[in-house]
Amino acid sequence: MARAAREKAERWKEVVLAASGLQRHMLLQKAVEVARLHGLRDLVADLRGELQKMKPEELGLQRYEESTEIPAQVVDELLVWMAGGADWRECLSRYGAYGPPTGAFEENVDSVQEAMRNYPLQFMFERTVLDGAGRPIRRISTEQEHLDAGVIVRETDRSLRWGHFAPSCLKAIFEKHPRPAPEELTTFFTTDFIASDVAERIARSLLLYLDGQFDESLHVLIPRPEAVVRELCRLIEAVIAESPQPCESRAAPTWWTRRSRAGSACRVLPPSLEGGATCRSCRTARMSPSWLTG
């Protein structure tokens, strides 16, 4: 039985290596499944290595672009309102409370469900989500998976749009109001679920940003949202931990949403398709006062 299974998997590998482009990519995924099903870990590692070697440009995919026009008057009104507080504290409170950048979760779900009713064809077929390097990170087949994926795409799109205006808002605020001292910023960012040491790092990140040191600002900030969200989840007793599972027993990763008593949403991504480490991404619907939401 083991010999027959290995021969089957090896035949899949031969077919894969003879293919190219998107066909090769899809066959590699199937070959990984076959090898994993039969417990052939050495072959799984080889096939995953072949999958990782493929570059996005080798898939033969076409790029489609669209544009959205936003009237300049709307942008100007946003900047005037954002910088129109009595002082920088009020302005940053407006900045942190604006949104959330993803939009309201329930509205996004309703929008995707409406699209699934009006344009059902695109949600009928299984599809694979790739990361920036062209590696598969998720397979979508069921109705619920299509809904979850659609919500993620919508939230990502809205966040990216807000990202175009967020820097202009910060610039407008501190062109009108004096630059705060580090201690003032730390006090401002310290809340019931943002500890003073975390707040100090957020304050430092903002000051670096205002100095034009964007890379340094990002490096200081990156670990802090997770610390904030974990503390928030602890306070509202939202469970975000998973029991570890054997690597080869994991299915393709899926997203799900857990709703807490406080109305926040926490998204958890189970261990990635490539193996070992657990990857999680969490968000809260609103954190204020904070510029983290921007």
Asked, as a colleague might, if the bond just before 289 is cis with ω within 30 of 0, I would say: yes
Give the SS3 label for residue 257: strand
Query: Are residues 198 and 227 in contact, defined by beta-carbon separation less than 8 angstroms?
Result: yes
46-69 pLDDT, tens digit each: 888 887 778 777 777 777 777 878
Name the DSSP class of 270. P
pTM here is 0.63
Please state, for a pLDDT cut of 90, what percent of the chain lies above it: 37
Hey, where are the domains in the chain? 2-59
Nearest to 91 by CA among 164, 162, 175: 175
Confidence of residue 101 (pLDDT cuts 50, 70, 90): confident
Asked, as a colleague might, if the bond just before 136 is cis with ω within 30 of 0, I would say: no
Answer with the residue of higher pLDDT: 139 or 261.
Answer: 139
Is pLDDT of 147 > 60?
yes
Q: Which helix (H) or strand (E) element contains residue 194?
A: none
pLDDT at site 3: 77
Is pLDDT of 262 > 70?
no
167-177 pLDDT, tens digit each: 999 999 999 99
Is pLDDT of 192 > 90?
no
d(CA 223, CA 226): 6
Maximum average pLDDT range among 87-91, 125-129, 154-158: 87-91
15-35 pLDDT, tens digit each: 777 888 878 877 888 788 878
**Residue 253, class by beta-carbon neighbours within 10 Å (0-12 exposed, 13-18 middle, 19+ buried)?**
middle
